[in-house]
Structure 1
Amino acid sequence: MNQNACEIAAFLLCIAGWVLTTSTLPTEFWQVSTITDIVIVTANFYSNLWKMCVHDSTGVSDCKDFESLLALPVHIQVCRAFLITSVILCFLGVILALVGMKCTKIGGSDITKAKFAFTAGIHFIVGGLLSMSCFSLYANRITSEFYDAKFYQTKFELGAGLFIGWAGSLLCIVGGILYCIATSKVAFQKKRKGYINKGTAITNEIVTSTTQSKSKQFDRAAYI
């Protein structure tokens, strides 16, 4: 696969991953109340990082936002920070990727564009890892409470938002790795060749000047 095709594939993967990850922000089904060992279910609870919702047996849903930031559990605050940072990093990665792709007309020389694309890949990898950590931390809290025999409050199961987030995070990481692989040779190896060529030119100049000085000394000796 050539560089253009690899960049386009990486860009599509990263865009899809970023969209999926961002779509989990308003998604309410991060965790859903379990109905195990319950004979009569009068209401279902579900929530995300921002609010808790209840859906009763009459079909009416009601949601309440988490009003106090400091009163939230630590894992929700950490997940918020990770996810928002991930979305911002991936957004910056999209801009850098558009500038650095070879099929675009902006960004300067090929080496400069490759550096932009390589930086975009780093942004997507870091953003994907942050969002993956966010969803994994949230899921770990759900599973630990679910299997805790001493936890007597409402137990929850993994919601659809977590699976969507995991898929988006994985796409961002894979796309970022493809970006780095496709552009690393152009961004760094050509620069090294340039230094080698400069060093060879300087060496040739030194050898030429030494040869000329020796020839001049030989000419003077011949006249003497």
Structure 2
Amino acid sequence: MASTSAEIVAFLLTISGWVLVSSTLPTDYWKVSSIDGTVITTATFWANLWKTCVTDSTGVSNCKDFPSMLALDGYIQACRGLMISAVCLGFFGSVFGLVGMKCTKIGGSDQNKARIACLAGLIFILCGLCSMTGCSLYAHRITSEFFDPSFVAQKYELGAALFIGWAGASLCIIGGSIFCFSIAENSKSPRRAYAYNGAASVMSSRTKIHNSVPDKTSPKHFDKNAYV
């Protein structure tokens, strides 16, 4: 029962983390312009992995998509690949996790379900690491430009999408770890129960055979007409 509850908690954590990681891709604010050291405060510049935009004081936004994928900076291409990989890994991890849970009726025997659930946990951990690496790489570029005194272009601050990505990655890693630990405990318990039941069945069968064999040393009870 404890392992089943742990699997349900791990599945909810990993699914929540995967949803958060997936929501970072269409989120606009990966980086937002900083007003520190700038004169123009009536416009806000922001960008994500797909476009860069500017919003004026009236709330009107003008966006420009990145013209060429090959002309992008290397860190943006790396972040795109890592985040898309995290979304794909989270999808396959959710399928394997649903199949490998004890509370589901698919997946075959308990040993096969344990292997599938352990694989799902490893996939979710890898999903979290990809998302964590992608968000951290993007944040490192922002912070390095912000604290570089020789950088004279527009400086940016960390956007909301980075914090969402870090939260989703943490949930995926925690849920995947719980998946692996719960399956490890679950794989040990059936073996002990099987050995104990086997020993009990052998003892019970021997007891039945011993009781079924008549005891020759015990006194015999004859009927009253036995000597007639």
Normalized against structure 1, the TM-score is what? 0.82
Tell me the CA shift for residue 39 of structure 1.
Answer: 4.3
**Deviation >6 Å, runs of 4+:** 188-191
The residue aligned with 2:162 is: 162
Letter matched to residue 107 of structure 1: G
The answer (yes or no) to whether the contact 1:118–1:187 under 8 Å persists in 2 is: no
The residue aligned with 1:210 is: none
**1:65-120 C-alpha deviation (Å, 9 max, x unpaired):** 11201110000000111111111011100000110011111001111111111000
**1:157-203 C-alpha deviation (Å, 9 max, x unpaired):** 00000001000000000000000000124458868x99xxxxxxxxx
**CA separation in 2, counterparts of 1:155 and 1:102?**
51
The answer (yes or no) to whether the contact 2:45–2:55 under 8 Å persists in 1 is: yes
3-state SS, counterpart of residue 94 of structure 2: helix
Tell me the CA shift for residue 64 of structure 1.
Answer: 1.3
The residue aligned with 1:96 is: 96
The residue aligned with 2:16 is: 16
**CA separation in 1, counterparts of 2:162 and 2:23?**
11
**Is residue 138 of structure 1 aligned with residue 138 of structure 2?**
yes
Letter matched to residue 48 of structure 2: N
**Is residue 105 of structure 1 aligned with residue 88 of structure 2?**
no
**CA separation in 2, counterparts of 1:21 and 1:188?**
33
**CA separation in 1, counterparts of 2:73 and 2:7?**
41
Letter matched to residue 80 of structure 2: R
Structure with greater Cα Rg = 2
**CA separation in 2, counterparts of 1:84 and 1:188?**
36
Q: Pairwise CA RMSD of aligned residues?
A: 1.9
The residue aligned with 2:205 is: none
**What aligned pairs does 1:118-197 form with structure 2 within 5 A after superposition?**
118-187=118-187
The residue aligned with 2:210 is: none
Letter matched to residue 24 of structure 2: T
The residue aligned with 1:204 is: none
Letter matched to residue 161 of structure 1: A
**CA separation in 1, counterparts of 2:50 and 2:114?**
39
**CA separation in 2, counterparts of 1:153 and 1:2?**
56
Name whichever of 118-127 and 38-47 sits farther off: 38-47
The residue aligned with 1:35 is: 35
Normalized against structure 2, the TM-score is what? 0.81
Q: Unpaired segments of 5 or more residues in structure 2?
A: 195-228
**CA separation in 2, counterparts of 1:121 and 1:188?**
18
3-state SS, counterpart of residue 104 of structure 2: coil
The answer (yes or no) to whether the contact 1:13–1:172 under 8 Å persists in 2 is: yes
Structure with greater helix share of residues = 1
**CA separation in 2, counterparts of 1:166 and 1:36?**
25
State the aligned residue count.
Answer: 194
Tell me the CA shift for residue 37 of structure 1.
Answer: 2.7
**1:39-76 C-alpha deviation (Å, 9 max, x unpaired):** 44131110111111110122101111112011100000
The residue aligned with 1:53 is: 53
**CA separation in 1, counterparts of 2:99 and 2:38?**
56
